[in-house]
Amino acid sequence: MRSFYSHLEAVQSIGEEISSTTKPTYRSSAIFPVQHNTQYSSKIIFMGYWLLKRNIKEIGILYTLRNEMGQILSRKNSVIDSHKSYSISLDEFADKIGDTFIGSLELEIFSTRDLVFPYPAFVLVYYSDKFSTAVHTVGRIYNDIEDLVGNEEYVVRESGFDIYGDPQLESFLALTNGPQENEKPTFSYELNTKSGKTHSGSFTLNPIAPYQTVFVNLTEKMNLSEHLKNEAGSVKLGHNMHGFFPRFVVGNIQKNIGQISITHTYYDCSPLNDSKSFWNRKDDKFNDSAVAIPLYITGGYFTQVAVYPIFSPSDFEINCDFYGDKGEFLGSLKRAVEVKHSDNRYDVLDFETLCIAAGIDIQKAKVANLNCNWNDKTKIPTRVKFGLNVGMKNAAMKVPSNICFAPSLGNPKILEKAGTFRWAPFINIGTSEICITNSSTLKAYDRPAEIDLQFFREQDEAILKRKVMIPANGMIQLNAMKDSELKEFFGGESGWVTMQTTNPYIYGYDFDFFESGAVAADHIF
């Protein structure tokens, strides 16, 4: 893991001093564990955003299909010279994979101009006609030894996702190994519960060959049914995997209906207590950190936020400010939760419950701004992670979304940004919806956002354009089924939307909803 300050420099964040020895990125890649069986299949969706964001005229793409043991089955390459939507499905390899397949799909982007980010904006989708689930780029094979060394500034455990003790659910981890064999893959674990109890242990796997794909049953390896009973919890996973960026696909399978929900792991920073683990840019105009989320708390839906005990040693409180979608202030709930590092506890905020506690009409509440503040201003962690869980009550699918997302630090340098470019996918298997928020870490925020939207589709290079205005602390929703123009434009295939604005505080989330209660979801790019 890089320190946060090293990360800001590496991605050339606004206002950061870039070293003259910084190496440009000409290769950007991702490697995904993929599956195909009688219940669901896999695909990767993306758009040619490099042409818009970096003004690169064309890039090369190479994608490699490997079987479970890491042997290459197919390699294809092409030129991306359009900003349209793209989809790479396992259906295109039907003659290689048969009826049942486990393996990996690696995608490599090559450019003659600096790509800046070594991890591209790809989305892995597991899907059937009854559900979908998605996660953005996870693991990748390092570009070179300098890339590897830079990302091993700290060696930490992986965490930041939900696991369950419910016997109908199976929690799992999936990874595709790098180019080096691991003769004795070893994992240690620490389970964290709502009560603050922890359970520790370890397990080993059979040797893993280069580029081998492995799905690990965590329910079985960690005896979750006994330790968690019917509750949810989280886990910190230590490991000895090496030679690749170790961000894993994780999730839960509901065995009785054959549906799955995925997300990705994140760094466990709880042992890190050095100066680079804490923020050094305090400014009284800002909250220490903050993030806005959309609220789905009517019509049988629920919205919850999981708080993971993976932040550097410190104590903080989360205050919730509630707004309507036009930015109208509805009320606040102070100290919705007090988070103490010493508790080492997995916690969950339920927003219907919080609205009622604050005396707020749940029919009007559309946005919650989570303001996180520390009493000790020298101990504001640079990395805090939450899980955004949107699901349906009493539905066939018990597992909600589990978006790994973070509050933004109160960074005065963000005000130097001339604007923001963001983009997000419409998966368009179920009912796809994108929520765009306009909320800030500033304590006093009143800046509206005028956004130029451009929509792209798979069929051709056609572009649909719109202009929208989001008031401060407001939100808009783009629904690809309810919006007849969008429905006709996408034609049932995946699509993308880009957002260009002079406001630096635009953020958002994308969803794909199903009657079964399944919810594919992620934060936008």
104 & 184 share domain: no
How, if at all, do strands 315-323 and 367-374 pair?
Answer: antiparallel
CATH of the domain at 181: 2.60.290.11
Alpha helices in 11-93 (DSSP H): 50-53
Amino acid identity of residue 176, one-letter, is: T
172 & 233 share domain: yes
Residue ranges in the chain whose pLDDT is less than 70? 3, 5-20
Q: Which helix (H) or strand (E) holds 96?
A: helix 94-97
12 & 143 share domain: yes
C-alpha dihedral sign at 128, 134, 138, 143: positive
Residue at a domain's end among 150, 184, 199: 150
Residue at a domain's end among 237, 268, 299: 268
Which pLDDT score, from 0 to 100, does residue 20 have? 61
390 & 447 share domain: no
Residue 296 lies in a domain: yes
CA 253/CA 255 separation, integer angstroms: 6
Residue 486 lies in a domain: yes
Residue at a domain's end among 100, 124, 150: 150
CA 266/CA 310 separation, integer angstroms: 9
Provide the number of structural domains found in the chain: 4
What Cα–Cα distance (Å) separates residue 444 from each residue in 252, 409, 440, 441, 507? 40, 15, 9, 9, 18
Whole-prediction pTM: 0.94
Domain that holds residue 452: 419-523
Q: Taking the C-alpha atoms of 38, 39, 44 and 46 in order, what is their torsion angle to the nearest 10 degrees?
A: 130
21 & 124 share domain: yes
What Cα–Cα distance (Å) separates residue 333 from each residue in 290, 319, 338, 370? 14, 6, 12, 10
13 & 146 share domain: yes
Tokens at residue 265, please? 């792991």
Which pLDDT score, from 0 to 100, does residue 17 have? 61
29 & 143 share domain: yes
CATH of the domain at 488: 2.60.290
Which pLDDT score, from 0 to 100, does residue 284 have? 87
